[in-house]
Chain A
Amino acid sequence: QVQLVESGGGVVQPGRSLRLSCAASGLTLTNYAMHWVRQAPGSGLEWVAVISYDGRIKSYADSVKGRFTISRDNSKNTLFLQMDSLRPDDTAVFHCAGSPDSAWHNFEYWGQGILVTVSS
């Protein structure tokens, strides 16, 4: 059974940093591109970033470019999202999602999500 479990969320002040993790089980991450997708309260899903199976290719949404960094450690089957210069409009539930390496556009596996609240 595939499980993606996010951790590292919480309440943080504007301008501060936070690092999210996504631990995978039942799934070999080296076969998957991995995404972060967020959902602000009462809103739809927003794609945040993607990283290739080997970590060499990364892409970001304009809203987070230059502030967020996606990375992965395949030896630990774990995905990360370093979030710097956080703003109140970054408040959201952050999901990690896995896509087959042949189809990055298919978000096949999802984690339950972790809440990040940016507030003073």
Chain B
Amino acid sequence: QSALTQPASVSGSPGQSITISCTGTSSDVGGGHNFVSWYQQHPGKAPKLIIYDVNIRPSGVSSRFSGSKSGNTASLTISGLQAEDEADYHCSSYTDSGGTYVFGGGTKVSVL
């Protein structure tokens, strides 16, 4: 159950687009399912689900957030970057190992 690999930090200017990668293996992200999710976490707050099943936004989540997957790597793109997007972002995936789950190490997004 090794953690998924995310860049430690990503930054961008307001209005720009940024992409956060989340790399796993064929036993998790690259497995025969689309059970990859993304969470936004502001300092001192609980994580919030922003993308599930690779590319589906829950009701109320901005359309500026989008997800995709190719092979063993999932990605989260934030378009039209805003100051309020400054937060930590975590990916997660179901794994083929006995019904378990794994998270990434988290990515700190900074808005310059």
Chain A positions within 8 Å of B, measured between CB atoms, are: 35, 37, 43-47, 50, 57, 59-63, 95, 97, 103-108, 110-113
Q: For residue B36, which residue of chain A has the nearest CB? A: A105
A37 touches B1 (CB 8 A): no
In the complex where A105-B35, A105-B94 touch, is A46 in contact with B46 (Cβ < 8 A)?
A: no
When chains A and B are docked, how far (Å) is the Cα of A103 from the Cα of B92? 13
Q: Does B57 contact A (CB under 8 A)?
A: no
Does the CB pair B46–A47 fall under 8 Å? Answer: no
Residues of chain B touching chain A, judged by Cβ–Cβ distance below 8 Å, are 1, 3, 6, 35, 37, 39, 45-49, 52-53, 58, 90, 92-94, 98-106
- Whether B103 pairs with A44 at a CB distance below 8 angstroms is yes
A-B contact pairs, 7 of them (CB 8 A): A45-B47, A50-B99, A61-B1, A106-B52, A107-B37, A111-B46, A112-B46
List the 3 closest A-B pairs by CB distance, nearest first.
A44-B106, A105-B35, A110-B46
Contact B47–A47 (Cβ < 8 Å): no
| Contact residues in A for B94 (Cβ distance below 8 Å) | 104-105
How far is A60 from B95 in the complex, measured between Cα atoms in Å? 12
List residues of chain B with CB within 8 A of the CB of A50. 99, 101
Given contacts A50-B101, A61-B1, contact A45 B92 (CB under 8 A): yes
Provide the bound-state CA to CA distance between A47 and B39, in Å: 13
* 5 extra A-B contacts, CB within 8 A, seeds A45-B47, A47-B100, A110-B48: A43-B106, A47-B92, A47-B103, A105-B37, A112-B45
Q: Which of B49, B90, B98 contacts A45 (CB 8 A)?
A: B90
Tell me whether B52 and A103 are in contact (CB under 8 A).
yes
